[in-house]
Amino acid sequence: MWNKIKRDFESGVGRLQWFAGIITERLAIEVSFIKMLAKIDNLEKEKEALYKSIGKNAYELSFNRTTDIYNHHKVQQAIKEISSLEMTIEELKKEAGDIISTEG
């Protein structure tokens, strides 16, 4: 009788460990997905700040009619940074989509 109880108890513990392992893996996946979404959100905010800086520079340069706004170094640098951020954001979105599609 005690052997049967011991065997059933060990079987139950094994099932709990299996279930805990699955929950742990799933939580790790969800946390990594949430971190990616937070990183994407931060990059989007950074991109918006660059848009604002381009607008501010364009406004400041609009008073000087001899300066070409589009060829100004600050504007060109901001545009390059925006392009880089957009590529990074797209990569992160693809990566996040891959995580969800393979695990969902």
Q: How do residues 29-76 score in pLDDT, each as one tens digit?
A: 899 999 999 999 999 999 999 999 999 988 888 887 777 888 888 889
Please give the residue that has the higher pLDDT: either 85 or 100: 85
Among residues 5, 25, 48, the alpha carbon closest in space to that of 99 is found at 25
Give the Å distances, CA to CA, from 56 to 53, 63, 67, 83, 85.
5, 12, 15, 19, 20
Q: What pTM does this model have? A: 0.73
Give the ranges where the chain is alpha helix by DSSP (H): 2-61, 73-103
